[in-house]
Amino acid sequence: MRARTKSLNPAGKKHKFGKAWMHEHVSDHWVHEAQRLGYRSRAAFKLIELAARDKLLRPGMSVVDLGAAPGSWCQVLREQLGPRGRIMALDLLPLEPIAGVAFVQGDFREKATLEALEAALAGHKVDLVLSDLAPNISGIESADQARSVYLGELALEFSSAWLQPGGDLVVKAFQGEGFAELQGAFRARFDKVHARKPKASRDRSREVFLVGKGFRPA
């Protein structure tokens, strides 16, 4: 799920913000690197850094990628897991096909989508769950933060059912109300929990990634 902004904010200043964002985007080092290396978005470098720092990826793993579109994390997974790796991706938006990546399109919050994902897993538990899920932006900070925490909770709930013992979970979160509680819920299920802000995350963003290492089944 990718955040969307309204065409105009209440003060009518969206155009100015849009120009500033576009200037930042086209001059962004990570955007240029993604284009140079053939990644679909700059987010690829977030996963590359997280994976290296926390030893998340190894050949032959089974991984679920939630919020996968446009697919840069799947590209990184395909490179690092090798031909025996199993990748299942999900997003509300369509995903241009990637060889060796199975895809379910739908809203992760809906029961039918979750059932379709679970059916695709065919009873096989996974080694790693990645969640880059983010809510559509309403502009109301408290509501957007609550929706973000809720998506993190859903990813944790899904992982509790589908991770192998000792498996790992990475969830995008935003610092603010409910973040500490989400971090505490991670600590109840994982041996180690880290809050990471990759270099490819924009400095002004409250985005961090909660990394849970060593899943402990209930």
Peptide bond into 94 cis (omega under 30): no
Q: Which of 80, 98, 58, 190 is nearest to 88 (CA)?
A: 98
Point out the catalytic residue in the list 19, 46, 111, 172.
Answer: 172
Catalytic residue list contains 6: no
Angle between helices 141-162 and 111-121 (to 10 degrees): 30
- Residue 68 CB coordination number (10 Å): 28
- Sheet of 126-131: strands edge to edge? 101-105, 86-91, 62-66, 126-131, 163-174, 207-215, 190-196
| Whole-angstrom distance, CA of residue 131 vs CA of residue 1 | 10
DSSP H/E element including 129: strand 126-131
Catalytic site positions: 172
